[in-house]
């Protein structure tokens, strides 16, 4: 149980185009989803917190107009990288939070590797 | 199907104790195994292991990979209350990262 999927797993696009990444919780409902970006040396940076039915909360330094997040339902959140540039090339990972017996647990998706040419 | 399994799921110990967290995996095209500590926001990177049998250390934390057994352990000695967190194990297979469900560690003062 508690599987999170991401689509696509890998995308290559030209500079200036927009790319949409989907994050789905397959067998549970997630009121909150998180979007991370993986940097060199494996560190993960939290980009934003996405709550179903409301606007995402972005971390300091993350451009909300560039990284559009939509949490349309309890099982789907999307991250759109608008006007992508080579410096946006990275590994983007989402996670979904489910509250069980008062303890919050995050389940991570497999990531999406974005390459901007 | 690729999977990463961590055990135990939760652990409560007293300050000063030593703990060992386990991670086993069944992943094709293994590239590396990663350990993270998650407290509030983004998981904090701890170790990346690629070679079997070579221990990596950082202060009171150490980790080792056993490619034959398809597993890794994370040791924390002389635990402190600040070590309370969820410890995540993940396996990188280049086109995706597969995370375990984490071990929730709670250190009692």
How many residues can be counted in chain B? 109
Task: Over range B14-27, report the average pLDDT.
Answer: 97
Identify the residue whose tokens are 């934003």. A48
Structure tokens at B14: 């007293």
Which of residues A24 and A28 earns the better pLDDT score? A24
B42:A46 CB<8 A: yes
Contacts of B38 in chain A (CB under 8 A): 106
Q: What is the pLDDT of residue B66?
A: 96
Q: What is the pLDDT of residue B1?
A: 80
Task: Over range A34-44, report the average pLDDT.
Answer: 82
**Cα–Cα distance, B84 to B105 (Å, whole number):** 5
Closest chain B C-alpha to A83 CA, distance in angstroms: 23
Closest partner residue to B48 (CB to CB) among A2, A42, A93 is: A42
Q: What is the pLDDT of residue A101?
A: 52
Tens digit of each residue's pLDDT (9 = 90 or more) over B34-92: 999 988 777 888 999 999 999 999 999 999 999 999 999 999 999 999 999 999 999 98
Closest partner residue to B95 (CB to CB) among A9, A59, A106 is: A9
CB burial readout A58-93, b (16+ within 10 A) else e = beeebeeeebbbebeebbbbbbebeebeeebebbbb
Cα B90 off chain centre by: 8
Q: What is the pLDDT of residue A53?
A: 80
Which of B58, B64, B66, B101 has the alpha carbon at shortest distance from B83?
A: B58
**What residues pair up with A81 in beta bridges, in sequence order?**
A19, A67
Q: What is the pLDDT of residue B78?
A: 97
HSE-CB for A49 with a 13 A CA cutoff: 11
B99:A46 CB<8 A: no
Assess contact for A116 and A10: CB atoms under 8 A: no
A105:B97 CB<8 A: no
Closest chain A C-alpha to B69 CA, distance in angstroms: 23
- The DSSP 8-state label assigned to residue B1 in this structure reads -
**Nearest 5 degrees, angle CA A78-CA A11-CA B88?**
65
Closest partner residue to B98 (CB to CB) among A43, A105, A110 is: A110
Cα B36 off chain centre by: 6
φ, ψ dihedrals at A75, nearest 5°: -125, 5
Closest chain B C-alpha to A19 CA, distance in angstroms: 18
Closest partner residue to B99 (CB to CB) among A10, A43, A108 is: A108
Q: Considering only CB atoms, which residues of chain A are within 8 Å of chain B?
A: 2, 9-10, 36, 38, 41-46, 59, 91, 93, 103, 105-108, 110-111, 113
Which of residues A54 and B40 earns the better pLDDT score? A54
Tens digit of each residue's pLDDT (9 = 90 or more) over A69-103: 998 888 999 999 999 999 999 999 999 987 655 55
Closest chain A C-alpha to B18 CA, distance in angstroms: 24
Q: What is the pLDDT of residue B39?
A: 84
Task: Give the model's confidence band at A5: pLDDT under 50 very low, under 70 low, under 90 confident, else very high.
Answer: very high
């Amino acid at each position: 149980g508690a599987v999170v999927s991401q689509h696509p797993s890998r995308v290559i696009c030209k500079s200036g185009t927009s790319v949409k990444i989907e994050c789905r919780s397959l067998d549970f409902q997630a009121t909150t989803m998180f979007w991370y970006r993986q940097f060199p040396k494996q560190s993960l940076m939290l980009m934003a917190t996405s709550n179903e039915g409301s606007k995402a909360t972005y971390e300091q330094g993350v451009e909300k107009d560039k990284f559009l997040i939509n949490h349309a339902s309890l099982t789907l959140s999307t991250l759109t990288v608008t006007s992508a540039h080579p410096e946006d090339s990275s590994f983007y990972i989402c996670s979904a939070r489910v509250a069980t017996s008062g303890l919050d647990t995050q389940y991570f998706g497999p990531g999406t590797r974005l390459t901007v040419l | 199907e690729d999977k990463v399994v961590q055990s135990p799921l939760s652990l409560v110990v007293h300050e000063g104790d030593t703990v060992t967290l386990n991670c086993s995996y069944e992943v094709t095209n293994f590239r590396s195994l990663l350990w993270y500590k998650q407290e509030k926001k983004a998981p904090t990177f701890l170790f990346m292991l690629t070679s079997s049998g070579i221990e990596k250390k950082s202060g009171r934390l150490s980790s080792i990979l056993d490619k034959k057994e398809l597993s890794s352990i994370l040791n924390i000695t002389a635990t402190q209350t600040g070590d309370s967190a969820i410890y995540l194990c993940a396996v990188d297979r280049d086109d995706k990262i597969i995370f375990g469900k984490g071990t929730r560690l709670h250190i009692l003062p």
